[in-house]
Amino acid sequence: MSDLIIDADGRARCAWAGDDAEYRRYHDEEWGTELRGDRPLFEKMSLEGFQAGLSWITILRKRPRFREVFHGFEPSVAAAFGPDDVDRLLQDAGIIRHRGKIEAVIGNAALAADMADGELDALLWSFAPATHTPPSSFAEVPAVTPESEAMSRELRRRGFRFVGPTTMYALMQSSGMVDDHVAGCWRAAA
């Protein structure tokens, strides 16, 4: 697979964006764009956890329903979910029906809700590398980095779940902590 595709609009994009309109929009407008704030980062962490073992496009297509059932991923609201909510969510075909992942979001929400305002944002961004060289090709894009391993270790130490180092590197990519748009992509850092 080539590292880049040229779309009908004439722009070169990372090939993973493919020809799906929603995936291209995500590539162009979100992936690698700096994301700040406790709630948006909690949402991204939760969705990346749901993605483990699945394709991101599956999560992206289900994201509106995830947002609905988890009340915008507001930690204080999701933290109050109980066993009946878990059972209800396990019946909802609009989301990924995985008990462990659902319970992880609820447990992680409680941990995030107990943090001071801005603390989750500061914690996650504290692992952003001081320097990052965008890749020349997909072959250069790592699955994990020392920073994502350290982020994962600290989150797990605090009790967070579904925050492995690969998942946390995906979070770093999607929230703009690193820029992994390949060279030649119109979104790649100059």
Give the catalytic positions in this structure.
26, 48, 56
For residue 116, the 8-state DSSP code is P
Helix (H, G, I), strand (E, B) or coil at 109: helix
Q: What is the C-alpha to C-alpha distance for residues 143 and 124, in angstroms, rounded to an integer?
A: 18
Is the CB of residue 134 less than 8 Å from the CB of residue 182?
yes
CA distances 172 to 78, 80, 86, Å, are: 23, 27, 28
